[in-house]
Amino acid sequence: MADLANLNLTEEEIAHLVKDLDEILTHMDALNEIDTSGVEPMAQVLYASEETATLRRDEIIPPIGNHAALANAPLAGNGYYKVPKVIER
Amino acid sequence: MTGVASLTIERVRAGLAARQFSAVELAQAALEFAQVENPKTNAYLHFCPERALAAAERVDQKLAAGADPGPLGGVPIAVKDVIVTQGVRTTCGSRLLDKYIPPYNATAVRRLEEAGAVILGKTNCDEFAMGSSNENSAFGPVRNPAALDRVPGGSSGGSAAAVAQGTAVAALGSDTGGSVRQPASFCGVVGVTPTYGRVSRYGLVAFASSLDHIGPFGRTVRDAALMLETMAGRDECDATSASAPVPRYTAQLDGKVAGLKIGVPREYFEGLASETGDLVHAGLDVLKRLGCQVRDISLPATKYAVPCYYVIATAEASSNLARYDGVRYTSRANAETLSGMYRVTRGEGFGAECKRRIMLGTYVLSHGYYDAYYLKAQKVRALIAEDFRKAFTEVDAIAAPVSPSPAFKIGEKVNDPLEMYLSDIYTITGDLAGIPCMSVPCGKTREGLPVGMQILTRHFDESGMFRLADAFEKAGGFAGPN
Model pLDDT for residues B58-79, shown as the tens digit of each residue:
999 999 999 999 999 999 999 9
| Amino acid found at B232 | A
Q: Tell if the CB–CB gap between A30 and B303 is shorter than 8 Å.
A: yes
Average pLDDT over residues B304-310: 96
pLDDT above 70: percentage of residues in chain A: 90
pTM recorded for the entire structure: 0.96
Give the active site residue among B94, B133, B137, B155: B155
Q: What is the pLDDT of residue A51?
A: 57
Query: Is residue B142 over pLDDT 50?
Result: yes
Q: Quick check: B149 pLDDT over 50? A: yes
Span A60-86, mean pLDDT?
92
- Residue closest to B262 by CA, chosen among B440, B397, B394: B397
**Higher-scoring residue by pLDDT: A62, B226:** B226
| Mean of pLDDT values over B243-267 | 96
Return the exposure string of B124-151: e unless at least 16 CB atoms fall within 10 Å of the residue's CB, then b.
bbbbbbbbbbbbbbbbebbbbbbbeebb
The pLDDT score that the predictor gives to residue A85 is 87
Domain count across chain B: 1
Name chain A contacts of B328, Cβ cutoff 8 Å: 72-73, 81
Q: Where are the alpha helices (DSSP H) in B300-440?
A: 305-320, 338-349, 352-365, 376-391, 417-422, 425-433
| Chain B interface includes A87 (CB < 8 A) | no
Looking at B273-375, list the stretches that DSSP marks H as alpha helix, in order from N- to C-terminal side: 274-289, 305-320, 338-349, 352-365
Q: What percent of chain A has pLDDT over 90?
A: 69
- The half-sphere exposure of A84 on its side-chain side, counting CA atoms within 13 A, is 14
B79: in domain: yes
- B243:A33 CB<8 A: no
Q: Which of B22, B80, B132, B159 is catalytic?
A: B80
Q: Is residue B267 in some structural domain? A: no
Average pLDDT across chain B, whole number: 96
Name the active-site residue from B22, B137, B174, B179: B179
Q: Mean pLDDT throughout B461-481?
A: 87
Q: Give this complex's ipTM.
A: 0.92
Residue pair B403/B432 in contact (Cβ under 8 Å)? The answer is no
Tell me the percentage of chain B whose pLDDT exceeds 70: 99
- pLDDT 10s digits, B87-140: 999 999 999 999 999 999 999 999 999 999 999 999 999 999 999 999 999 999
- Any CB–CB contact under 8 A between A67 and chain B? no
What's the confidence (pLDDT) of residue B48?
98
**Is pLDDT of B3 > 70?**
yes
- CB pairs < 8 Å spanning A and B: 171
A87 pLDDT above the threshold of 90: no
- More reliable by pLDDT, B227 or A56: B227
Q: Which of B221-225, B330-334, B458-462 is predicted with the least confidence, judged by mean pLDDT?
A: B330-334
Nearest to A81 among B327, B378, B385 (CB): B327
Picking from A6, A29, A64, the nearest residue to B325 by CB comes out as A6
Asked whether residue B304 is assigned to any structural domain, the reply reads no
The answer to whether residue B416 sits within a structural domain is no
Asked whether residue B365 is domain-assigned, the answer is no
The length of chain B, given as a count of residues: 482
The closest CB to that of A36, out of B234, B330, B380, belongs to B380
Taking CB atoms and an 8 Å limit, are B418 and A81 in contact across chains?
no
Specify the pLDDT at position A49: 56
| A14-31 pLDDT tens trace | 999 999 999 999 999 999
Catalytic annotation present for B94 = no
Whether A54 and chain B come into contact, CB under 8 Å, resolves to yes
| Domain harbouring B157, CATH code | 3.90.1300.10
Q: Which residues contact A51 (CB under 8 A, 6 or more apart)?
A: B243
Q: Are strands A76-77 and A80-81 parallel, antiparallel or unpaired?
A: antiparallel
pLDDT band at residue B394 using 50, 70 and 90 as cut-offs: very high
Chain B partners within 8 Å of A36 (Cβ): 376, 379-380, 382-383
Residue A44, chain B, CB below 8 Å: the answer is yes
pLDDT score at B339: 93
Taking 90 as the threshold, does the pLDDT of residue B35 lie above it? Answer: yes
Residue-level pLDDT at B481: 43
Spatial contact of B432 and B381, defined as CB atoms under 8 Å apart: yes
A27 CB near a chain B CB, below 8 Å? yes
- What pLDDT is attached to residue B479? 54
Q: Are B245 and B195 in contact (CB under 8 A)?
A: no
Angstrom distance (rounded) from CA B355 to CA B352: 5
Residue B453 lies in a domain: no
Asked whether residue B189 is assigned to any structural domain, the reply reads yes
Asked if residue B123 belongs to a domain, the reply is: yes
Whether the predicted pLDDT of B6 surpasses 70: yes
The predicted model gives B17-28 an average pLDDT of 97
- Domain with B22 in it: 4-257
| Contact state of A2 with B359 under an 8 Å Cβ cutoff | yes
pLDDT over 70 at B482, yes or no: no
